[in-house]
C-alpha cells in the first residue's frame, strides 16, 4: 500500500506494505532513511509531527515516535523542544553529492592519531561509529561553561589580562593541584604544575626538556598510540628530530619492565591507569618496578593520565607519579572529561625540571588562554565539574552495558577486555580473522569499526582485535550497529 503525505515539507511517497510480514516500524524507518540518503529529504527540511504522520499512514502515534526516536539516535533527524523534527544538518549526503569527509578525532590518548583514525572519515552517515578516544560531544556542559566564562570575565583582574606567568594562571594551578592530590593521589604542588594546551603539547614540552638533558632514546608502549607507534623517530617537534623511539611490549599486566630495561631507553611514555589502547591496568608490582627502573638508571617516566575519571567496577587507581615524583611527569587534560575543543591540560613536573618546562612553554606560545584557564578554575571551584563527571560516568556505564549485552546477544563468541575504565574496549576476534576485511565489510554496512593493527609498532601482526569506542554512540545505536555486523564478528 503506497501512501503519500505532504506536510510543510516536500511531498514524499512512502510505501507501507501490510502484507509483507515486515514490521511497519521497520518499513517506516527504512523509507525515511532512504529518503534522506537519496536526497528526497534534504538537511534542514521539516517532517510532519508524529500525530500528523500517524494519521496519514493509519498507524499509531507511538510507532511514529519510536521511528523518529531511532533516526534521532542515528543522527538522521534533529529535534529540539518547541520546534519541529527536521532532517539533521549533517545527515547522510545524497548519493553522488558527497562533500568532503570530516577529519576524525585523535587516538585513544588524545595524542597524534594512529593511521586508522587519521584516515578520512567515510562520506556516509553511519548507523554506529565505534571510533575510540572521542567523548560524548553532545553532553558538553554548555550552560556551565557559559556560566564559568561569564564568571571569569566578571572577576578577572586587569593585570591578569596580560601574558602572565608562563606556568599558567595561579587560580587554575592551585585548584588543579588540589584536585589531583584529592582525586588522583598525586604529589602535586602548584609551583610544579604547568598549564598547557592539551596532551600533545605537554608531551612535546616534556620530551624537549629531556632531550636537552641528553635523553636521546625514549620508549613507547606497543601497542600504543600516535604516529610514534609506526616510527623509529620522535617527530613531534623540530627539536626532537634526532631523538629515537623504541617500542616495548604490553601484556595483561601492563608494560614489560624487563624489556624496557633491555631497550636502553632513558625515558618512557606510559598510560598506567588504563593502557591505550588495550585498556589493561598496570599491575602494582610493575608500578613499583617501573619507578625503581627510573631511579636506578637515572631515567624519567612520562605518565599520560588520560581518562581515569571514568571508572566502573574497580577500585580507583592513583597516579604513578605519587610513587616517585622526582622521576615522573604526569600529564592530564580535560579533552575526555569535557571536550577536545577545550584546549586545556597540565603537566605535573619533577620539581627540578618545572622551571625548564615553564621556559619551554614560554618559548612555544607565551602561554595558554588566560580567560579559558580562569573559566576552568571557576568550574572546578563551583563543583559543577564534579557534577558533570558523575553524570558522564552514568552515561558511559550505560553504553558500556549496552555494548556488552549487544555482543552477548548477537556475537557471544567475541570476548571483550579493557572495560574497567574509560569509554573504549577491545573486542577479540576469532583466530584467523582479518581485521582489515572486517573493518571494510562493516563500513559497507554503515558501521564504523577500527582494528588494533594500526596501533602496533610498524603495523606488526598480532591477534585480530578491534578497538571499540562507545563515547560517540548512544545505546540504541550501539545495539543497531552490533546487530548489523554480528556475522562479521562471529
Q: Which residues contact 90 (CB under 8 A, 6 or more apart)?
A: 43, 75
25 touches 61 (CB < 8 A): no
What string of DSSP letters covers 470-488?
-SSS-HHHHHHHHHHHHHH
Q: How far apart are CA 293 and CA 69, in angstroms?
A: 54
The CA-atom distances, in angstroms, between 57 and each of 8, 27, 69 are: 16, 12, 18
pLDDT number for residue 99: 33
Answer CATH for 115-139+394-489 from 3.40.50.2300, 3.90.1150.10, 3.40.50.1360, 3.40.710.10 = 3.90.1150.10
The CB-side HSE value for 319 (13 A sphere, CA atoms) comes to 31
Per-residue pLDDT tens digits of the chain, which is 490 residues long = 444 444 334 345 677 888 887 888 888 888 888 888 877 788 888 888 888 888 878 888 888 888 888 888 778 888 766 677 888 876 544 333 333 233 333 443 333 334 333 344 444 689 999 999 899 999 999 999 999 999 999 999 998 899 989 999 999 999 999 999 988 889 999 999 999 999 999 999 999 999 999 999 999 999 997 555 555 555 555 556 667 889 999 999 999 999 999 999 999 999 999 899 999 999 999 999 999 999 999 999 999 998 777 887 666 688 999 999 999 999 999 999 999 999 999 999 999 999 999 999 999 999 899 999 999 999 999 999 999 999 999 999 999 999 999 999 999 999 999 988 889 999 999 998 999 999 999 999 999 999 999 898 876 778 999 999 999 899 999 999 999 999 999 8
Among all chains, which residue has been given the C-alpha cell 585498556? 279
- Structural element, H or E, at residue 35: helix 24-38
Nearest of 135, 145, 127 to residue 109 by alpha carbon: 135
Q: Is CATH 3.40.50.300 the classification given to domain 142-386?
A: no
What string of DSSP letters covers 376-442?
HHHHHHHTHHHHHHHHHHHHHHHHHHHHHHHHHHH-TT-EEE--SBTTEEEEEPPTT--HHHHHHHH
pLDDT per position as a tens digit, 152-168: 999 999 988 999 899 99
* Angle, helices 61-74/475-489, rounded to nearest 10 degrees: 70
pLDDT per position as a tens digit, 399-442: 999 999 999 999 999 999 998 888 999 999 999 899 999 999 99
Please name the fold of domain 2-87: Arc Repressor Mutant, subunit A (1.10.10)
Residue ranges of domains in the chain = 2-87, 115-139+394-489, 142-386
Asked whether the whole model's pTM tops 0.85, one would answer: no
Among all chains, which residue has been given the C-alpha cell 545524497? 94
Tell me the β-bridge partners of 451.
Answer: 466
pLDDT number for residue 213: 93
SS3 327: coil
The CA-atom distances, in angstroms, between 92 and each of 36, 116, 127, 447, 449 are: 7, 22, 10, 13, 18
Amino acid at each position: 500500500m503506497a501512501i503519500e503525505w505532504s506536510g510543510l515539507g516536500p511531498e514524499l511517497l512512502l510505501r507501507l506494505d501490510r502484507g509483507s510480514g515486515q514490521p511497519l516500524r521497520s518499513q517506516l524507518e527504512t523509507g525515511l532513511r532512504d529518503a534522506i540518503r537519496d536526497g528526497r529529504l534534504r538537511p534542514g527540511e521539516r517532517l510532519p509531527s508524529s500525530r500528523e504522520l500517524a494519521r496519514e499512514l493509519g498507524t499509531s502515534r507511538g510507532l511514529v515516535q519510536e521511528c523518529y526516536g531511532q533516526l534521532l539516535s542515528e543522527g538522521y533527524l534533529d529535534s529540539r523542544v518547541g520546534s519541529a523534527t527536521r532532517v539533521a544538518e549533517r545527515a547522510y549526503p545524497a548519493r553522488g553529492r558527497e562533500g568532503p569527509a570530516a577529519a576524525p578525532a585523535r587516538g585513544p590518548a588524545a595524542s597524534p592519531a594512529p593511521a586508522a583514525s587519521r584516515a578520512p572519515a567515510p562520506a556516509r552517515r553511519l548507523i554506529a561509529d565505534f571510533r575510540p578516544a572521542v567523548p560524548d560531544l553532545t553532553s558538553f556542559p554548555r550552560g556551565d561553561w557559559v556560566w564559568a566564562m561569564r564568571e571569569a570575565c566578571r572577576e578577572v583582574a586587569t593585570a591578569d589580562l596580560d601574558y602572565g606567568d608562563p606556568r599558567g594562571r595561579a587560580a587554575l594551578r592551585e585548584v588543579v593541584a588540589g584536585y589531583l592530590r584529592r582525586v588522583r593521589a598525586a604529589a602535586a604542588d602548584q609551583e610544579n604544575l604547568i598549564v598547557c594546551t592539551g596532551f600533545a603539547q605537554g608531551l612535546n614540552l616534556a620530551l624537549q626538556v629531556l632531550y636537552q638533558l641528553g635523553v636521546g632514546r625514549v620508549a613507547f608502549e606497543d601497542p600504543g598510540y600516535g604516529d610514534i607507534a609506526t616510527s623509529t623517530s620522535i617527530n613531534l617537534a623540530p627539536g626532537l628530530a634526532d631523538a629515537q623511539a623504541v617500542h616495548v611490549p604490553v601484556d595483561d599486566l601492563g608494560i614489560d619492565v624487563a624489556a624496557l630495561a633491555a631497550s636502553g631507553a632513558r625515558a618512557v611514555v606510559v598510560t598506567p591507569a588504563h593502557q591505550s589502547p588495550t585498556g589493561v591496568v598496570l599491575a602494582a608490582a610493575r608500578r613499583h618496578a617501573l619507578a625503581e627502573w627510573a631511579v636506578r638508571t637515572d631515567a624519567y617516566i612520562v605518565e599520560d593520565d588520560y581518562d581515569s575519571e571514568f571508572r566502573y567496577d574497580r577500585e580507583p587507581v592513583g597516579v604513578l607519579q605519587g610513587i616517585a615524583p622526582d622521576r615522573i611527569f604526569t600529564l592530564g587534560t580535560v579533552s575526555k572529561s569535557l571536550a577536545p575543543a577545550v584546549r586545556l591540560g597540565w603537566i605535573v613536573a619533577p620539581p627540578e625540571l618545572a622551571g625548564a618546562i615553564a621556559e619551554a612553554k614560554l618559548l612555544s606560545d607565551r602561554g595558554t588562554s588566560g580567560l579559558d584557564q580562569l573559566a576552568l578554575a571557576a568550574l572546578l571551584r563551583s563543583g559543577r565539574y564534579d557534577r558533570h563527571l558523575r553524570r558522564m560516568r552514568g552515561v558511559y556505564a550505560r553504553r558500556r552495558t549496552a555494548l556488552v549485552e549487544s555482543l552477548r546477544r548477537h556475537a557471544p563468541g567475541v570476548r571483550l577486555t579493557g572495560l574497567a575504565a574509560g569509554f573504549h574496549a577491545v573486542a577479540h576476534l576469532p583466530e584467523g580473522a582479518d581485521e582489515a576485511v572486517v573493518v571494510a565489510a562493516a563500513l559497507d554496512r554503515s558501521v564504523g569499526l577500527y582494528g588494533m593493527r594500526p596501533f602496533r609498532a610498524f603495523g606488526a601482526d598480532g591477534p585480530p582485535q578491534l578497538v571499540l569506542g562507545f563515547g560517540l554512540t548512544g545505546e540504541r545505536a550501539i545495539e543497531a550497529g552490533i546487530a548489523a555486523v554480528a556475522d562479521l564478528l562471529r
